Amino acid sequence: MASLKINGLNKVFPSGETALYDVNLEAADKEFLVFLGGDNSGKSTLLRIVAGLDDASSGTVEINGKDMTDVEPKNRDIAMVFKNNTLYPALNVFDNMAFGLRLRKAPEALVRERVKVAAEILGLNDSLYRKPKVLTAAAKQRVAIGRAIVREPKLYLFDEPLSGLDEKLRLDMLNVIINLQARLGGTFVYATKNLSEALTIGTRVVVLKDGFVQQIDTPANLYDYPANTYVAFAIGAPTVNFIKKVKIISADGGYCATFNGGEFRLPENIVSRFKNIADYADKDKYVTLGIRPEDAEISQEGQLKGKVSAVSGEEEKYAECDVNPDICLNVSTANDVEKGKEVNVFVDVSRLYIFDAVTCLTLLERDEGYTQTGLRDADFRPLPYDEEQSIKENSKPKKQQKKK
């Protein structure tokens, strides 16, 4: 199939605003790579540049080791499925799926053979001679996917193909795409804002925010070893808790993280990963602690005291506990608790995340629990928060001065 490499890619709009900044990544042959990000994160723009539908301001796109940066879309051997179905309403399902092959003047026997195979894979045999207007939303997306796979391209691109579908249809279509990738053995690059989708299908995930890559890694590595506070917050549900304005102090031959409302004695596994702890201990520098809700619970042996302000969840229950006016922790609870109850909160400090308060970058190095991928992306480090903000601020369109 195909490998994909993006090198030093930038996209600047005519207004001067930065859409993508210095993107470097790769997708290995037969990999399922996911671009994860919210609106205006750059994920769709990045896909369109790979497809050749948009031009990059600088940088290169390589497919199978060949520079495709200036190659016409039709010559890149790529198929793309868009978020909104782009079927031709006047054509039936068969002709919609056959359209791309016929456009390339493929022999009709080959067209019929490939459409038949794709229809079988996607469960469209009974709909081949129906018009798109009578199909369900999920069936329309199946047809759009079928139109892509009949061409047997080197690279498959998906731009939020399940947006707009309800939860059941979304899950059904997600299974279709997963099985499709396994059956075709193709290289899939998939853009979504849905965390569950990204973690379910991605062998690796590219986390994007405002055109900046935050981290590229496996779902498990993103969860356990987030590169910055944004990745820690974006990966995981319920979202991570943050305790800000935390100081590291020396105490009894070890270190404590102290804050308004409590302190944690840092265990050896955290201290050993905090290589530059001497730069923070007993200094006028703050850190931010990250605590997963599943790594904290209401317990009689808790290090912190709080009051329950809300309870959520059914099978897995979580309670929001106010430790002080500035700190509210969402923690797991095995028992029913009532709003307003005074409780103790136990935090598994061996699972703490620690970030610099200014740069928002992690201060903990990886340990033996980190799964190596062997790809260059794993060593990527995002920009410090203040540098990223400065670049974004400088790229904002300048407002025209009002005429006097």
Q: Is the pLDDT of residue 304 over 90?
A: yes
Q: Residue 282 forms beta bridges with which residues?
A: none
Beta carbons of 150 and 98 less than 8 angstroms apart: yes
Query: What is the structure's pLDDT at 401?
Result: 40
The C-alpha atoms of residue 174 and residue 200 are separated, in whole angstroms, by 9
Neighbours of 369 (CB within 10 A): 10
Q: What is the pLDDT of residue 204?
A: 96
Would you say 141 and 93 are in contact if contact means Cβ atoms under 8 Å apart?
no
CA dist 181 and 397 (Å) reads: 41
CB 353 within 8 A of CB 320: no
Q: Are 231 and 74 in contact (CB under 8 A)?
A: no
Q: Which amino acid is at 293?
A: P
Tens of pLDDT along 200-225? Answer: 999 999 999 999 999 999 999 999 99
Q: For 380-400, how does the pLDDT look when each residue is reduced to its tens digit (9 = 90+)?
A: 999 999 999 999 988 887 664
CB 216 within 8 A of CB 378: yes
Is pLDDT above 60 for 293?
yes
Highest mean pLDDT among 134-143, 175-184, 290-299: 290-299
Average predicted confidence (pLDDT) for the chain: 92
- pLDDT for 239-274, tens place per residue? 999 999 999 999 989 999 999 989 999 999 999 999
State how far the Cα of 25 lies from the Cα of 7, in Å rounded to an integer: 7
Looking at residue 403, its pLDDT comes to 46
| C-beta separation of 93 from 130 below 8 A | yes
**Res 170: pLDDT:** 87
Residue of 187, 189, 144, 146 lying closest to 165 (CA atoms)? 144
Inter-helix orientation angle 108-122/137-149, to 10°: 140
**pLDDT(404) > 50:** no
pLDDT of residue 1: 58
* pLDDT single digits (tens) 4-55: 999 999 999 988 889 999 999 999 999 999 999 999 999 999 999 999 999 9
- Percent of the chain at pLDDT above 70? 98
* Predicted pLDDT of residue 151: 87
pLDDT of residue 400: 43
Pairing of strands 287-291, 241-251: antiparallel
